[in-house]
Chains A and B, each alone.
Chain A
Amino acid sequence: TQLLEQSPQFLSIQEGENLTVYCNSSSVFSSLQWYRQEPGEGPVLLVTVVTGGEVKKLKRLTFQFGDARKDSSLHITAAQPGDTGLYLCAGGPSGTYKYIFGTGTRLKVLA
């Protein structure tokens, strides 16, 4: 069974702090996506990474895809209360069209 494990599962931090969320698998992924989901809504796509070692920046968010395409990280600089939500990594293992979702990280940023 292919799994995407995220850590930490829960994170509560003060506004202005930095944080990193990890997404790990034993399988190789052809691409990996990060989503944010707010209560009562569907996941919203933040970024897609495709190439091993790729780094993408989205304002205060930095996403990295591992060299072997088995893991990824999301780093948030100077977190704000608006960053609060459920962060999900998801991806398609090589050779399949099926999407697997990570276990999720619930982030709460306190003002």
Chain B
Amino acid sequence: NAGVMQNPRHLVRRRGQEARLRCSPMKGHSHVYWYRQLPEEGLKFMVYLQKENIIDESGMPKERFSAEFPKEGPSILRIQQVVRGDSAAYFCASSRRAEPYEQYFGPGTRLTVT
């Protein structure tokens, strides 16, 4: 009964490199959400995806950030040309239904940009 899986748990990148964060939702869940949590701050919504579709990316920065949830495989959050301000914990959540109802979270990926 695996929960939401995220990898890697910790990721260190130098400024200008690319970061790829992976998320495998819970079994039976086809809705995936990405959140960012800055130190001592709350969780901020970034993007909501269903299989092969981006439903809402209103919380995602317009540049350098992209997300996908292919038909096969995990959801990917991609950050190009990382900057120090991208350092944060990135959490993925999944839900069974297309409502804001019972999202289950993964353990997060802690990105550090040096």
Give chain A's interface residues, CB within 8 Å of chain B. Answer: 30-31, 33, 35, 40-45, 48, 88, 90-93, 96-104
Question: For A93, what are the chain B residues with a Cβ–Cβ distance below 8 Å?
Answer: 100
- Give the secondary structure class of A's interface: strand
In whole angstroms, what is the CA distance A92 to B48 when docked?
13
Q: Taking A98-B48, A98-B56 as contacts, is the C-beta distance between A44 and B100 under 8 angstroms?
A: no
Which residues, 57 to 114 on B, are CB-close (under 8 Å) to A?
A: 91, 93, 98-108, 110
Q: Which of A44, A88, A92 contacts B43 (CB under 8 A)?
A: A88
Residues on B lying within 8 angstroms of A by beta carbon are 4, 6, 33, 35, 42-45, 48, 55-56, 91, 93, 98-108, 110
Q: Which residues of the partner chain A approach B102 to less than 8 Å between Cβ atoms?
A: 31, 33, 45, 48
Report the number of A-B residue pairs with Cβ-Cβ less than 8 Å.
64
Q: Which residue of chain B has the shortest Cβ distance to A106 in the bound complex?
A: B40
Given A42-B105, A42-B106, the answer on whether A98 and B100 have CB atoms closer than 8 Å is yes
